[in-house]
Amino acid sequence: MSRIGVFVCWCGENIARTVDVDKVVQASRALPGVRVAEHYKYMCSDPGQALIRDKIVADKLDGVVVASCSPHMHLKTFRRAVANAGLNPYRMEVANVREHCSWVHHDKATATEKAIDLIRMSVAKVHYDHALQPIRVPVTRRALVIGGGVAGIQAALDIADSGYEVVLVERDPSIGGKMAGLSETFPTLDCSQCILTPRMVEAGQRPRIRLHTYSEVESVEGFIGNFEVTIRKKARYVDMVKCTGCGECMKICPLKRTPSEFDFGMGTRPAIYMPFPQAVPARPVVDKNVCAKIIRNGCGLCEKKCAPGAINWQDRDEMIQEKVGAIVVATGYKLYSIGREQKSAKITGYGEYGYGKYKDVIDGLQFERLVSASGPTNGEIKRPSDGKVPQTIVFIACVGSRDNAKGLAYCSKICCMYTAKHTMLYKHKVHSGEAHVFYMDIRAGGKGYDEFVRRAIEQDGAKYYRGRVSKITQEDGKLIVRGADTLAGVPVTVEADMVVLAAAMRPADGIEELAQKLNVGVDEFGFLLESHPKLRPVETNSAGVFICGACHAPKDIPESVAQASAAASKVAVTFAASELTREPEIAKINELTCAACFACVRTCPYHAVERAEIRARNGTLIKYTARVNEGLCMGCGTCVAVCPSKSADIEGFTEEQIYSMVEALA
Amino acid sequence: MNIGYYPGCALHGSSNDYDQSLRATLGALDVTLSEVDDWICCGATAAHSLNHKLAVALPARNLALARLQGHAEMLAPCPLCSMQLLRAEQALASDDKLRAEIEVIVEAPAGAGPRVLNLIQVFENAGLDRLKSAVKKPLKHLKAACYYGCLLVRPPGVTSFDDAEQPRSMEAVVAATGASAVDWNYKTECCGAGMTMASPETVLELSNRILANAAAHGANCLVVACPMCHVNLDMKQTAIEKRFGVHYHLPIYYLSDLVGMALGLSPGELGTERHFVTAPAGAKEA
> Which pLDDT tens digit goes with each residue over A131-167?
999 988 889 999 999 999 999 999 999 999 999 999 9
CA distances from A409 to A340, A347, A551 (A): 18, 10, 17
The 10 Å Cβ neighbour count of residue A298 is 11
Q: Do A351 and B213 touch (CB under 8 A)?
A: no
Q: For residue B122, is it within any domain?
A: no
Average pLDDT score over chain A: 94
pLDDT score recorded for residue A342: 62
Q: For residue B268, is it within any domain?
A: yes
Q: Give dist(CA A486, CA A468) in Å, integer.
A: 9
B105 and B168 in a common domain:
no
The verdict on B201 touching A (C-beta cutoff 8 Å) is no
Q: Do B213 and A349 touch (CB under 8 A)?
A: no
Asked if pLDDT for residue A291 goes beyond 90, the answer is yes
B91 and B189 in a common domain:
no
Find the residue in B nearest to A341 (Cα).
B163
Last residue of a domain, one of B117, B148, B163: B117
pLDDT score recorded for residue A337: 81
Average pLDDT estimate for B215-244 = 95
Last residue of a domain, one of B117, B143, B163: B117
Q: For residue B196, is it within any domain?
A: yes
B113 and B209 in a common domain:
no
Number of residues written out for chain A: 666
The count of CB pairs under 8 A between chains A and B is 28
> Which pLDDT tens digit goes with each residue over B159-173?
877 888 889 999 999
B175 and B111 in a common domain:
no
Using pLDDT thresholds of 50, 70 and 90, give the confidence band for residue A548. very high
Average pLDDT estimate for A177-193 = 95
CA distances from A492 to A6, A345, A438, A486 (A): 73, 30, 10, 10
Q: Do A345 and B160 touch (CB under 8 A)?
A: yes
Hey, what amino acid is at A581? T
Instruction: Identify the CATH number of the domain in which residue B262 sits.
Output: 3.40.50.11810
Q: Do A354 and B213 touch (CB under 8 A)?
A: no
Contacts of residue A474 in chain B, CB cutoff 8 Å? 185
Q: What is the ipTM of this complex?
A: 0.75
Cα atoms in the 13 Å half-sphere on the side-chain side of B28? 25
β-pairing, B180-181 vs B143-146, is parallel
B262 and B154 in a common domain:
yes
The verdict on B216 touching A (C-beta cutoff 8 Å) is yes
Q: Distance, in angstroms, between B229 CA and closest chain A CA?
A: 20
Q: Give dist(CA A182, CA A170) in Å, integer.
A: 18
Q: Please check whether residue A209 is in contact with residue A166, taking contact to mean a CB–CB distance below 8 angstroms.
A: yes
Instruction: Identify the CATH number of the domain in which residue B71 sits.
Output: 1.20.1050.140
The 10 Å Cβ neighbour count of residue B62 is 29
> Which pLDDT tens digit goes with each residue over B105-153?
999 988 888 999 999 999 999 999 999 999 999 999 999 999 999 999 9
Longest CA–CA span in chain B (Å) reads: 61
Q: Do B185 and A473 touch (CB under 8 A)?
A: yes
Q: Do A339 and B166 touch (CB under 8 A)?
A: yes
**What domains, with CATH codes, occur in chain A?**
4-127 (3.40.50), 142-332+548-576 (3.50.50.60), 336-506 (3.50.50.60), 587-650 (3.30.70.20)
pLDDT score recorded for residue B163: 85
Q: Give dist(CA A339, CA A351) in Å, integer.
A: 5
Angle, alpha carbons A589-A593-A598 (nearest 5°): 60
Angle between helices A150-161 and A192-205 in degrees, nearest 10: 40
Q: For residue B124, is it within any domain?
A: no
Report the SS3 class of residue A408.
Answer: coil
Q: For residue B74, is it within any domain?
A: yes
Using pLDDT thresholds of 50, 70 and 90, give the confidence band for residue A340. low
pLDDT score recorded for residue A338: 77
Query: Based on the number of CB atoms within 10 Å of its own CB, is A598 exposed (0-12), middle (13-18) or buried (19 or more)?
Result: middle
Contacts of residue A340 in chain B, CB cutoff 8 Å? none
B149 and B67 in a common domain:
no
B155 and B109 in a common domain:
no
> Which pLDDT tens digit goes with each residue over A213-264?
999 999 998 889 999 999 999 999 999 999 999 999 999 999 999 999 999 9
Q: For residue B240, is it within any domain?
A: yes
pLDDT score recorded for residue B282: 46
Using pLDDT thresholds of 50, 70 and 90, give the confidence band for residue B286. very low
Q: Do B165 and A406 touch (CB under 8 A)?
A: no
B141 and B253 in a common domain:
yes
CB-CB: which of B156, B166, B189 is closest to A406? B156
B278 and B137 in a common domain:
yes
The verdict on B218 touching A (C-beta cutoff 8 Å) is no
Strand pairing partners for A93? A65
Q: For residue B223, is it within any domain?
A: yes
Q: Do A350 and B216 touch (CB under 8 A)?
A: no
Q: Give dist(CA A343, CA A381) in Å, integer.
A: 33
Q: For residue B127, is it within any domain?
A: no
Find the residue in A nearest to B164 (Cα).
A351
pLDDT score recorded for residue A589: 96
Element (H, E) at A625: strand A621-628
Average pLDDT estimate for A362-384 = 95
> Which pLDDT tens digit goes with each residue over A403-423?
988 889 999 999 999 999 999
Contacts of B112 (CB under 8 A, 6+ apart): none
> Which pLDDT tens digit goes with each residue over A205-222?
999 999 999 999 999 988
Contacts of residue B160 in chain A, CB cutoff 8 Å? 345
B256 and B164 in a common domain:
yes
Structurally, chain B folds into a number of domains equal to: 2
What does the buried/exposed string (b/e) look like for A464-473 if buried means 16 or more CB atoms within 10 Å of the residue's CB? bbebbbebbb
Q: Please check whether residue A438 is in contact with residue A396, taking contact to mean a CB–CB distance below 8 angstroms.
A: yes
Q: What is the DSSP string of A69-89?
A: S-HHHHHHHHHHHHHHTTS-G
> Which pLDDT tens digit goes with each residue over A582-620?
889 999 999 999 999 999 999 998 889 999 999 999 999
Q: Please check whether residue A274 is in contact with residue A213, taking contact to mean a CB–CB distance below 8 angstroms.
A: no
B189 and B162 in a common domain:
yes
Expressed as residue numbers, the domain containing B250 is 133-283
Last residue of a domain, one of B82, B117, B152: B117
Q: Give dist(CA A331, CA A514) in Å, integer.
A: 10
Q: Distance, in angstroms, between A351 CA and closest chain B CA?
A: 5
> Which pLDDT tens digit goes with each residue over B25-83?
999 999 999 999 999 999 988 898 899 999 999 999 999 999 999 999 999 999 999 99
Three-state SS sequence of chain B: CEEEECCHHHHHCCCHHHHHHHHHHHHHCCCEEEECCCCCCCCHHHHHHHCHHHHHHHHHHHHHHHHHCCCCEEECCCHHHHHHHHHHHHHHHHCHHHHHHHHHHHCCCCCCCCEEECHHHHHHHHCHHHHHHHCCCCCCCCEEEECCCCCCCCCCCCCCCCCCCCCCHHHHHHHHCCCEECCCCCCCCCCCCCHHHHCHHHHHHHHHHHHHHHHHCCCCEEEECCHHHHHHHHHCHHHHHHHHCCCCCCCEEEHHHHHHHHCCCCHHHHCHHHCCCCCCHHHCCC
Q: Give dist(CA A319, CA A296) in Å, integer.
A: 26
Number of residues written out for chain B: 286
pLDDT score recorded for residue A223: 87
Q: Do A475 and B213 touch (CB under 8 A)?
A: yes
CB-CB: which of B160, B166, B213 is closest to A357? B166
Q: Give dist(CA A341, CA A396) in Å, integer.
A: 21
Query: Based on the number of CB atoms within 10 Å of its own CB, is B70 exposed (0-12), middle (13-18) or buried (19 or more)?
Result: exposed
Average pLDDT estimate for B212-220 = 95
B271 and B158 in a common domain:
yes
Q: Do B165 and A352 touch (CB under 8 A)?
A: yes
The verdict on B118 touching A (C-beta cutoff 8 Å) is no
